[in-house]
Amino acid sequence: MKRIATLAAAAALFAAPAFAQTTSPQVPQGGGSPAMQAAMERMQRDMAAMRMTGDADRDWAMMMRRHHEAAIEMSRAHHGAGRDREIERMAQKTIEDQTREIRQLDEWMRNHPAR
């Protein structure tokens, strides 16, 4: 079962950049869009380079932590660039929620070191 989870995680990592390239519209110039695109690209590069431990729980926590960091970067890039107040509130909530979740993931990883 661990092997299946590890293989599935690896497949998702390798597919993510290709999927993003084929489904993302051209990034408009100006505003926060270029910064959001750059954050997503850094996340994909970083996650693809992560070395899986074979422990699905730890690997998930490690990947999710980086995913949350990128969401925070994209939310900060959106601040001041967007026009919709509801989206701005969602971006702010993303920063708050995912900052808290990163702390939880860090604590879990400290309490469950790689074997």
The tokens of 86 are what?
Answer: 């509801």
> Which are the contacts of 19, defined by CB distance < 8 A and separation ≥ 6?
none
Instruction: Return d(Cα 46, Cα 9) in angstroms, integer.
Output: 14
- Low-confidence stretches of the chain (pLDDT < 70) are 1-31
At residue 27, the pLDDT reads 35
Domain count, the chain: 1
Query: How would DSSP label each residue in 54-67?
Result: S-HHHHHHHHHHHH
**Segment 27-38, tens digit of pLDDT:** 344 448 999 999
User: Taking the chain, what is the end-to-end CA distance rounded to the nearest angstrom?
Assistant: 18
Entry pTM: 0.70
Residue 60, domain extent:
2-24+32-111
